[in-house]
Amino acid sequence: MKNKKYIITAILSATILFSSCGNDDKKALVNNSLAIAVQSKTVSEDSSSPFLTVSGKIEATKSANISTRMMGYVDKIYVGVGDNVNKGQLLMSVNNADVSAQLAQVNAGITEAEAAYTNAEKDFNRFTTLFQENSASQKELDDITANYNMAKARVESAKQMKNSVNAQMGYANIRAPFTGVVTNKFINAGDMANPGMPLLEVEAPGTYQVLAMVPESEILAVKNDTEVSVQIKALNKSIKGKVTEVSTSSKNTGGQYLVKVILDKTDVQILSGMYATVQFPIARKTTSSAVMIPVEAIVKKGQLSGIYTVSQSNTALLRWLRLGRTFGDQVEVLSGLSADEQYIVSAEGKLFNGAKISNQ
């Protein structure tokens, strides 16, 4: 009997041991299946002294946001985004019933003023002849002359009023200011157009410029007429350009100075809004090795900037950073990240602190 009890006890212990091992294997499988696939990189210090490189955006040199000075409903839009237009071509019309009524009143006023002027002119000629024949007094001639001049002035005033109304009619029929392409439409037929509100955007393709922001530590080295190299990442092309404007104030640009670069003529199909990297032939000011990371890896939360790093337990760990200058698609890390640390560039799921990850 005692031997049987020992045998049963041994069998139960083995069963529990195997079942616990099976559960551990299942947990390991579950944990592995919950791991988020990520791509990570190792931080490296950039101790070289490359040329000054800043980011910018391409736009047409000649562009205009078209608006109107009158309020009214949009009757019809004759063009669409992407349409080529010629200078003076009708783009859209705004309901001008009230302006048309004013024009009718002005025309009636002109007719009335011209009739009064014609009558006053006849009286003036008649009394001038009578005065020369001593048949009219000086007082009578003066009165008739004053009436004649006032009638003449009323005609001129009515005509100028018509010019004013015609100018308002011009704002009802909106035309292209130059030959180009419609790149944006901000309103639809039936919407209310208000004075100064952008309605359409037209730009003249062919000549493009890059608006780049240069940090305050580098702006003094940037001069007009400097030849630069512009890299357009979307097209993988490099184009030459020349600095044409250098702003001397960063009051409204957050400590960055606006620099305008005109691109050379090229066969490359450039489009407004493309991002570009401008490289100036100026050695970047670096006093020590800089830690550089891709801009796309930065995590923004309010005013804070951070990055997910890879912990020793293979989990994601959010680290807040203090960032410096941006050089193209790279940003300088002033503090919060050291060399040889691993950080996550992209993930196939939503990351959070402590999330299990697996490197691809």
Q: How confident is residue 32, by pLDDT bands cut at 50, 70 and 90?
A: very low
Range of the domain at 73: 66-94+173-202
Average pLDDT of the chain is 82
In angstroms, the CA 69 to CA 201 distance is 16
Please tell me the total count of domains within the chain.
4
Residue 19 has what pLDDT? 45
Supply the angle between the helices 97-132 and 138-172 in degrees, to the nearest 10: 160
Q: Is 58 helix (H, G, I), strand (E, B) or coil?
A: strand
In a domain, 25, yes or no: no
Residue 285 has what pLDDT? 60
78 and 183 share one domain: yes
In a domain, 313, yes or no: yes
Task: Encode pLDDT of 161-206 as tens digits.
Answer: 988 888 878 788 889 999 999 999 999 998 998 888 899 999 998 8
Tokens representing 167? 């100018």
Cβ proximity of 308 and 317 under 8 Å: yes
Instruction: Point out which residues pair with 237 in neighbouring strands.
Output: 232
219 and 101 share one domain: no
189 and 76 share one domain: yes
Q: How confident is residue 78, by pLDDT bands cut at 50, 70 and 90?
A: very high
pTM equals 0.54
**Domain C-terminal end among 256, 280, 304:** 280
Task: Encode pLDDT of 294-339 as tens digits.
Answer: 888 899 888 889 999 998 888 999 989 988 767 667 787 888 888 7
**What are the φ/ψ torsions at residue 224 (nearest 5 degrees)?**
-65, 150
Q: Is the pLDDT of residue 210 over 80?
A: yes
CATH of the domain at 81: 2.40.50.100
189 and 244 share one domain: no
DSSP one-letter string for 190-248: TSEE-TT---EEEEEEEEEEEEEEEETTTGGG--TT-EEEEEETTTTEEEEEEEEEE-S
3-state DSSP: the chain helix, strand, coil percent, rounded to 5?
Answer: 30, 40, 30
**Domain C-terminal end among 255, 280, 305:** 280
In a domain, 186, yes or no: yes
Q: Is 120 helix (H, G, I), strand (E, B) or coil?
A: helix
**Domain C-terminal end among 264, 280, 296:** 280
- Report, as an integer, the average pLDDT of 235-241: 89
Q: Which is more confidently placed, 15 or 143?
A: 143
340 and 253 share one domain: no
CATH of the domain at 255: 2.40.30.170
In angstroms, the CA 219 to CA 117 distance is 67
**What are the φ/ψ torsions at residue 47 (nearest 5 degrees)?**
-95, 5
